[in-house]
Amino acid sequence: MKFCVDECCNIELVRHLRLEGHDVLYIAQYKPGTIDNEILLKAFNEKRILITEDKDFGELVHRLKKPAYGIVFLRFEVHERHLKWPRLKQLIDRYEAKLEGHFVVVDNQKFRFRPLKT
């Protein structure tokens, strides 16, 4: 699967995804400081699921109606950061086919899917 990982996400997530065989574009390695609109457009054009911890992407796709291929928003408290990879892996293993076309909120208890408007 193809992912675009926002630079606000830890490199450990990127390493885990790559070890699992996924094609990962990590913004911190590709072009640090890229603005959110450009990240969203790049992920959309390359058909990559965007993984982020930045709430601003929700506003871009839901309120401003920017196109997105798929977004996974990781929502964890600082003391829960060790759960990010296990929960992300669980999401991919269970719902890989459903990530495209959805804004998915991932926390320590559930996955919430919201369709993206195209």
Q: Are residues 53 and 106 in contact, defined by beta-carbon separation less than 8 angstroms?
A: no
Q: Which CATH number fits domain 2-115: 3.30.310, 3.40.50, 1.10.10, 1.10.3720?
A: 3.40.50
Tokens of 28: 């911190």
Distance CA 113, CA 29 (A): 29
The pTM score is 0.96
Handedness of CA 25, 31, 35, 41 (dihedral sign): negative
Q: 48 vs 68, 92, 105, CA distance in Å? A: 9, 13, 17
Return the domain boundaries, the chain. Answer: 2-115
Helix (H/G/I), strand (E/B), else coil: 23: strand
Distance CA 95, CA 105 (A): 13
Per-residue pLDDT of the chain (118 residues; tens, 9 = 90+): 999 999 999 999 999 999 999 999 999 999 999 999 999 999 999 999 999 999 999 999 999 999 999 999 999 998 999 999 999 999 999 999 999 999 999 999 999 999 997 6
Q: In terms of C-beta distances under 8 Å and separation of at least 24 residues, what long-range contacts does 110-114 make, across chains too? A: 114/62
